[in-house]
């Protein structure tokens, strides 16, 4: 059973006005026209959930019935079942799309570096807000990505099989020749 209070991010004792305000704020936040690609699909799904939750919680009769069902469910769940439900909800949070980069692209490597060096104990929503607000964290992720790419290049240089390919890339590529000309 879905927890409509969690979907609308309100307390179970919230008034109708609070529920309505939370609904309008979240619908604006997740409006599908603001996103593209996988994020748009996620936003559409989220708005459907928000509409369903608001429809139930805004009506007194439906809300009362829902609260009774929620209480009955809470009283009947065994500890093992509760643990399984928590694990499933965590898996669903991980499935939330981040950015739509091609695998192996520079942007995907930057995003992976952000994920690896970030504290996973905070919520995904809060983490996304922090990345948008904190340019230092983005700069650190880009610098770490550049360092990783350079280290991979150095490792490839010393592997005999890839040494010829690296020499060709560095010494015959016009872009690298131009960059080298800047430093000489």
Instruction: Give the H/E segment covering residue 155.
Output: helix 135-158
Residue that is last in its domain, among 32, 65, 97: 97
Residue that is last in its domain, among 79, 97, 115: 97
Among 155, 181, 174, which Cα is nearest to 166's? 155
Query: What pLDDT score was predicted for residue 158?
Result: 87
Residue that is last in its domain, among 64, 97, 130: 97
Query: What pLDDT score was predicted for residue 94?
Result: 46
43 and 85 part of one domain: yes
93 and 109 part of one domain: no
18 and 73 part of one domain: yes
Query: pLDDT tens per residue, the chain (184 residues)?
Result: 788 888 888 988 888 899 999 999 999 998 888 888 888 888 899 999 999 889 888 888 888 888 888 887 777 655 556 666 666 665 555 444 455 666 667 777 777 666 666 555 555 666 666 666 767 777 787 898 899 988 988 888 888 888 887 778 777 888 878 877 888 6
With contact defined as beta carbons under 8 Å apart, do 49 and 2 qualify?
yes
Gap between the Cα atoms of 132 and 100, Å rounded: 16
Query: What pLDDT score was predicted for residue 128?
Result: 66
pTM given for the model = 0.42
58 and 137 part of one domain: no
5 and 48 part of one domain: yes
CB atoms within 10 A of CB 5: 19
155 and 140 part of one domain: yes
88 and 105 part of one domain: no
83 and 161 part of one domain: no
- The sign of the torsion formed by the CA atoms of 94, 99, 105, 109 equals negative
Gap between the Cα atoms of 20 and 150, Å rounded: 52
47 and 132 part of one domain: no
Among 133, 97, 93, 139, which Cα is nearest to 114's? 139
Tokens 């704020």 belong to 25
Backbone conformation region of residue 104, classed left if phi is above 0, alpha if psi is from -120 to 50, else beta:
left
Gap between the Cα atoms of 66 and 57, Å rounded: 8
* Total structural domains within the chain: 2
- Structural domain span for residue 147: 101-184
Please name the residues in contact with 40: beta carbons below 8 A apart, sequence gap of 6 or more: 32
107 and 30 part of one domain: no
4 and 59 part of one domain: yes
162 and 85 part of one domain: no
CATH number of the domain within which 86 lies = 1.10.287.110
Using CA atoms, how far residue 141 sits from 64, 67, 111, 150, 152, in Å, is 48, 45, 8, 14, 16
């Amino acid at each position: 059973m879905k927890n409509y209070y969690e979907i609308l991010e309100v307390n179970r004792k919230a008034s109708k006005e609070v529920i309505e305000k939370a609904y309008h704020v979240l619908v604006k936040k997740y409006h599908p026209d603001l996103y593209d690609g996988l994020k748009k699909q996620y936003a559409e799904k989220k708005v459907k959930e928000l509409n369903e939750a608001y429809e139930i919680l805004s009506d007194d009769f439906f809300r009362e019935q829902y609260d009774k069902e929620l209480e009955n469910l809470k009283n009947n769940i065994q500890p093992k079942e509760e643990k399984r439900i928590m694990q499933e909800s965590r898996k669903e949070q991980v499935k939330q799309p981040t950015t739509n980069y091609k695998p192996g692209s520079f942007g995907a490597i930057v995003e992976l570096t952000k994920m690896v060096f970030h504290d996973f104990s905070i919520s995904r929503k809060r983490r996304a807000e922090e990345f948008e607000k904190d340019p230092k964290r983005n700069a650190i992720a880009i610098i770490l990505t550049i360092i990783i790419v350079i280290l991979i290049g150095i490792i490839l240089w010393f592997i005999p099989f890839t040494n010829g390919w690296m020499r060709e890339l560095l010494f015959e590529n016009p872009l690298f020749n131009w960059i080298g000309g800047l430093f000489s």
